[in-house]
Amino acid sequence: MEYVQSVVDFLKNKYPSDPVFHQAIQEVLGTLQPLLAREPKYAANKILERITEPERIISFRVEWVDDKGEIQVNRGYRVQYNSALGPYKGGLRFHPSVNLGILKFLGFEQIFKNSLTGLAIGGAKGGSDFDPKGKSDKEVMRFCQAFMNELYRHIGATIDVPAGDIGVGGREIGYLYGQYKKLTRLFDGVLTGKNPLFGGSLARKEATGFGVVYFAQNMMQSAGNSLEGKTCVVSGAGNVAIYCVDKLHQLGAKPVTVSDSRGMIHHASGINLEALQQVKEVERAPLSRYAELCPDAKYTPASEYPAGRNAIWSVPCDAAFPCATQNELNLEDAKTLISNGCRCVSEGANMPATLDAAHAFIEAGVLYGPAKAANAGGVATSQLEMAQNASMQKWTFATVDNQLKQIMANIHKAADETAKEFGQPGNLLMGANIAGFRKVADAMIEQGVC
C-alpha cells in the first residue's frame, strides 16, 4: 500500500488542481494492492509511476469565425496516454467544462477499458472547451474544421484514432473526417463513429448503450436473475442513454427516466423511444420538449432538485444506468437507490459514481458494473469499425452486434474471475481494474523503458 500511496501523493502534489484526475488515479490504483503484493515486478519496473504519466499531451489554439463574423478562440487537446497495446484510441469531448485534468482522467480510464476489450488498442482522450449548444450547423462545421487543422498532424489509422464523446456525435465526426480527408488526401479509418455511408460501422451508434445493457444482463444472469420486467432508471439523454433505453425495451425491461443538464423526465409507463429520439437527435431540444410530446410524462427542472442531489436517483427502481457524466451519483444517491431496492447498477458514463458511492454499492452486494467494463462496448465496436476499414469490408448489423455481445460477456467474465482470483468475489471494480492493468503493465515491461 505504501507504493500506491506514494504515487498517489506524488501526483496530487504535482497536479494539485485536477481533482477528477486524482479521483481516477485513486479509483484504479486503490484496487491494485493485492496484485502488486503478489508481483513485485510492477514496482521494480516503476509501472505505476510510468502508467500514470501520459506518453504525450498535445494542446493547441483553435480559432474560427462565428455566424456574426466574430473571431472565436478555443483550446483543443489530445492526451495520448498509453500505446503499449495498440494505437491510441479514445473519444473527443466538446463541452465548456473541458480542461486538461478532465481529459487526463478520461484518458487514464480509457487505457484499462481498452485493455479489457481484449482488442489491440491503446488509450487516449481529447476535446475542447467549445460548447456546441446553441451553435448553428455551419458554426459547428467551422469549429470542427479548425480543430482538425491542428489535430490531423497527430493522428492516423495506425497512430491515433479519435471518436465521439459528450458533444461529439455523428455530425461532428462527419465534419472532422471531411477536413482530415481534405488535408491528407487519405480515405482511411482515422476516426470511428462515422456515418455508415462513408466507412462507419453499423451498430457503432448503438454500441455503448447496448453494451451497458448487455453488461447488466450478464451481471443479472450471474445472480440467477434477468432484466425482464425490471423498472430501470436511466440518466442522460444523449447517445449512450438513448440506446440504453432502446435495448432495455428490447429485453422487456421498463426504462422510466432520462435527464439532461436542465432537468429530468419521469415517464412511469415507460420512456417513449421515438419521442426521445425526435427531441434529442432531430430537434436537439431540451427535455422539457419531451413532456410536450408525451403529456403523461412528468418533467422536473434541475433547479427544483434538492441541494447537492440528482433527483433522478430517488425514483424507485430495480436497476440504474447512469449515462450522463462524471460524479453524477454521490453517496447519498447510492444510499437512496439501495434503500429503494435497486439491485443492479451498470455505468454508461465515465466515472459517474463517486468513489464512496461505488464502495457503498459493492458493500451492499448490489451488482455493480464499473464504467470501464460496462461502457466498453462503444470503443470495442470502434475497433470493429477500424477492422472493417483496414480490410475494406462492411459487416452486417447482426455481425457487429453479435461480436459486441460476445465482447461484453468476455469482459464480464474477466472482471468476475479476476475478482475471485484476488479473494473479493463480486467486486467487479477490483476485477476490472486488475484485469485491465495487468495486460498493459506486462506489455510495457516487455517493450522496455522507452
**Residue 125 designated active-site:** yes
Which ranges in 345-396 belong to alpha helices (H)?
A: 355-363, 371-374, 377-390
Alpha-carbon gap, residue 179 to 64, rounded angstroms: 14
In which residue are the cell numbers 427502481 written? 317
Alpha-carbon gap, residue 385 to 373, rounded angstroms: 20
Residue with nearest beta carbon to ligand NDP: 238
Nearer to ligand 2IT, 107 or 263 (CB): 107
Nearer to ligand NDP, 305 or 442 (CB): 305
Residue with nearest beta carbon to ligand 2IT: 91
104, 125, 194, 280: which one is catalytic? 125
Contact 113, 379 (CB under 8 A): yes
Report if residue 324 touches ligand NDP, rule: CB under 6 A: yes
- Selection from ligand NDP, ligand 2IT, none that 192 binds (CB < 5 to 8 A by kind) is ligand 2IT
Q: Which of residues 168-187 bind ligand NDP (CB under 6 A)?
A: 169
Cβ at position 222, least distance to ligand 2IT in Å: 23
Q: Which of residues 188-207 bind ligand NDP (CB under 6 A)?
A: none
Cβ at position 350, least distance to ligand NDP in Å: 4
DSSP string, 15-69: STT-HHHHHHHHHHHTT-HHHHHH-THHHHTTHHHHHTS-SEEEEEEEEEE-TTS
Interface segment toward ligand 2IT; rule CB under 6 A; list 83-91, 146-154, 252-260, 389-397: 83-91
Q: In terms of Cα–Cα distance, which of 104, 97, 89, 243 is closest to 166?
A: 97
Interface segment toward ligand NDP; rule CB under 6 A; list 15-23, 164-172, 182-190, 213-221: 164-172
Residue in 80, 115, 192, 326 binding ligand 2IT, rule: CB under 6 A: 192
Instruction: Classify burial at 82, counting beta carbons within 10 Å of its beta carbon; exposed 0-12, middle 13-18, buried 19 or more.
Output: buried
- Selection from ligand NDP, ligand 2IT, none that 240 binds (CB < 5 to 8 A by kind) is ligand NDP
What are the beta bridge partners of residue 89?
161
Report if residue 165 touches ligand NDP, rule: CB under 6 A: yes
The three-state secondary structure class of 13 is: helix
Interface segment toward ligand 2IT; rule CB under 6 A; list 85-93, 264-272, 286-294, 335-343: 85-93
Report if residue 132 touches ligand 2IT, rule: CB under 6 A: no
Residue in 11, 140, 173, 240 binding ligand NDP, rule: CB under 6 A: 240
Contact 165, 92 (CB under 8 A): yes
Measured between alpha carbons, how far is residue 253 from residues 14, 138, 226, 271 in Å? 46, 40, 9, 11
Known catalytic residues? 125
**What residues line the site for ligand 2IT (CB under 6 A)?**
89-91, 110, 113, 163, 165, 192, 350, 378-379, 382
